[in-house]
Amino acid sequence: MMPIHKNWFRMPVTALVCIIFVSSLVSIPFANAIAGNSMPTPTLLWSYKAGDQAYLSPEVVNNIVYVGLGDNVYALNAGTGAYIWSSTAGPVGPSLAVVSGVVYVGSEDDNVYAFNASNGGQVWNYTTGGAVDSSPAVSNGVLYVGSDDDNIYALDANNGGQVWNYTTGGAVDSSPAVSNDVVYVGSDDSNVYALNATSGDQLWNYTTGNWVGSSPAVVNDVVYVGSVEGKVLALNATNGGQVWNYTTGGAVLSTPAVASGIVYVGSDDNNIYALNSANGDLVWNYTTGGEVNSSPAVANGIVYIGSDDDNVYALNATSGDQLWNYTTNGEVDSSLVVVGGVLYVGSGGNIYALGTSPTSSPSLTSSNNLPIIIIVPVAVVIVAAAVFLTFKRKSKTKTKNSSLSPKDSAVS
């Protein structure tokens, strides 16, 4: 059997060490960028200008962005921002719902509208007794929405027929949340209500110290909601009993987002708060330059939220450290939506699509600006060099040995 020359063992070992070394120089910084240790600056992928202030929060369904701008509802290509269709609905409310190929939206012209999601054709409209600044919620074929005529309406989502209505003591700008056949909603009469989703019967109400414009978030049988009295409340979803409350320095109109045991919410005291969902203890807060009425989005360990200082912020969800901010052309009261690594936000009559991850950016680079794609070619070059040097050394040794006498060879 031919003996294995020691250089043949050195060659793959040398190549392996080279690959590991080069990969560590590039892939470790990139991994840190992914983890948020060195977050890349967001890339503006596209923006769409309609000329009116955009308070309406975008919804993204089947690669289409649906959003209200001024008196119209728009459908835009989510990848390019290209116009698809628009339909007139009067001054549209703060958000919309897209379910089963239909776009539902409230309007300050006292109507709730349903549009075909494919072409914008009107399916139906329902007239209430006041402006509809509440955002619709659709569950089990029924649409739930509040109105400034002090009512909460349940409408058949297919034809707009009224199923029931419930009268509160004030305007209902809060957007309903539906969970386990219960509708949770706030009212300007300072109450949070729980209503049977089928019949509209009241199950309980909780009285706060001021009107409730925040929309509830229901997680693990707890209702999280803000109040204009400057409190974030956690209520038992079954009986309305208070679990805890946290006092901020300003009105809380932001809708809480709950993720990994943390409640994230904005306040008119210019702060974004992270609170322990179990007991309301402060985890961290971050101060912006304006009121924070925007409702946050949480994705991949990052909290995205807007401020009236015209900025969108990305914060580390665990520590509250700022990863980046992006300046728009107006106040950011829009709720934010993250889909496929792209952040969609409305501000100052514009809809922005911001790339928030390397996969959504034009070029994939690590935190030290060294392209990831160089790992393979650099490694190949180093391995080739290692192979060349190994063979060269082997050839030189062979030549040297062949020039020795038999006696010398035996000694060597």
**8 Å CB contact between 166 and 152:** yes
List b or e across 269-298, with b for residues whose CB sees 16 or more CB atoms inside 10 angstroms.
bbbbbbbebeebeebbbbebebbbbbbbbb
Q: Which DSSP string do the residues of 33-47 spell out, in sequence order? A: HHHTTTPPPPEEEEE
pLDDT for the residue numbered 363: 32
Please give the Cα distance from 57 to 69 (Å, whole number).
Answer: 10
**8 Å CB contact between 227 and 214:** yes
**Structure token pair of residue 165:** 């209505």
- One of 3.60.110.10, 2.40.128.630, 1.10.3080.10, 2.60.40.10 is the CATH number of 216-333, namely 2.40.128.630
Which three-class secondary structure state does DSSP give residue 111?
Answer: strand
The count of C-alpha atoms lying within 13 angstroms of the C-alpha of 82, restricted to the half-sphere facing its C-beta, is 5
**8 Å CB contact between 273 and 265:** yes
pLDDT for the residue numbered 388: 43
Distances, alpha carbon 292 to alpha carbons 96, 267, 286, in Å: 20, 5, 11
Return all residues near 12 (Cβ < 8 A) that are at least 6 apart.
none
3-state helix/strand/coil string of 147-194: CCCCEEEEEECCCCCEEEEEECCCCCCCCCEEECCEEEEECCCCEEEE
Do the domains spanning 89-207 and 216-333 agree at the CATH topology level?
yes
pLDDT for the residue numbered 55: 62
Q: Which CATH architecture best describes the domain 89-207? A: Beta Barrel (2.40)
Which three-class secondary structure state does DSSP give residue 358?
Answer: helix
Return all residues near 297 (Cβ < 8 A) that are at least 6 apart.
257, 303, 304, 305, 335, 336, 337, 338, 343
pLDDT for the residue numbered 221: 97
Please give the Cα distance from 385 to 367 (Å, whole number).
Answer: 28
Which three-class secondary structure state does DSSP give residue 312?
Answer: strand
Sign of the Cα pseudo-torsion (269, 282, 57, 360, in order): positive
Mean pLDDT by 10 residues, the chain (412 residues): 44 43 39 43 90 75 93 95 95 90 96 98 98 96 98 98 98 97 98 98 97 96 97 98 98 97 98 98 98 95 96 97 94 92 91 78 32 39 42 43 38 32
Return all residues near 407 (Cβ < 8 A) that are at least 6 apart.
none
**Structure token pair of residue 370:** 């060294």
Report the predicted TM-score, pTM, of the whole model to 2 decimal places: 0.78
Q: Give the domain ranges of the chain.
A: 6-36+367-411, 89-207, 216-333
Q: Which amino acid is at 375?
A: I
| DSSP conformational letter for 25 | H
pLDDT for the residue numbered 101: 97
pLDDT for the residue numbered 53: 63
